[in-house]
Chain A
């Protein structure tokens, strides 16, 4: 199906390394979101993109985290100098537009483990 696709599905890396996570949104969805989910917890908002508007970065936990999006397609989330507390599942979602009444549809996430 044409759902949200994320890669890799799992990533194990050593502390201090940089990682890049990828998200392919549903075709035609102009809004794209990144969330983080720690084990046994709910989702924490990280960042969202809406068309050509400036992204809302208010959820990024530190300057080690950054994200980019090319037009209305692929997005990458980059974590530099990874720390053990970065271990989590990183989820991407997309929606038709970034306003109320539009449900966000999620991918299956990237499970990131920092050794």
Chain B
């Protein structure tokens, strides 16, 4: 069935280092992907998105890479800060006929000062 999974449940990095969070997806027909950040007690916050006709997109301190050949998505955070500590989810828009997103289990990012 459709699924979106994350390789590592927890990632611990030193403040100032770069972070890379990985995600695998199984639906090759998915056409849109989103990364969300979720802090404790809050709803998911949109970070960055990418369409399937792109392989890279950059935002402020964040970059998303999409490799459709191996169905892999990654989020890179440059110069990680303590405020980046949160759970990160990738989400997949599996079909243009439905609005639902399919979420992975999440990766916890811990930033050490």
Contacts and interface: CB of A to CB of B under 8 A. Distances in A.
Interface of A: 4, 31, 33, 35, 41-45, 48, 50, 56, 58-59, 91, 93, 95, 98-101, 103-109
B85 to A, nearest CB: 16
Q: Which 7 A-B pairs have the closest CB atoms?
A: A98-B99, A106-B43, A42-B103, A45-B100, A100-B32, A43-B103, A108-B43
Contact of B34 (A31, A48, A99, A103): A103
Interface residues of B, number: 26
Contact of B99 (A43, A50, A91, A109): A50
B101 A101 contact: no
B105 A41 contact: yes
Contact of A42 (B32, B43, B46, B105): B105
B100 A99 contact: no
Given A33-B99, A101-B49, A101-B51, 5 more contacts: A31-B99, A43-B91, A45-B102, A100-B96, A103-B46
Contacts of A108: 41-43
B99 A105 contact: no
Nearest to B31: A100
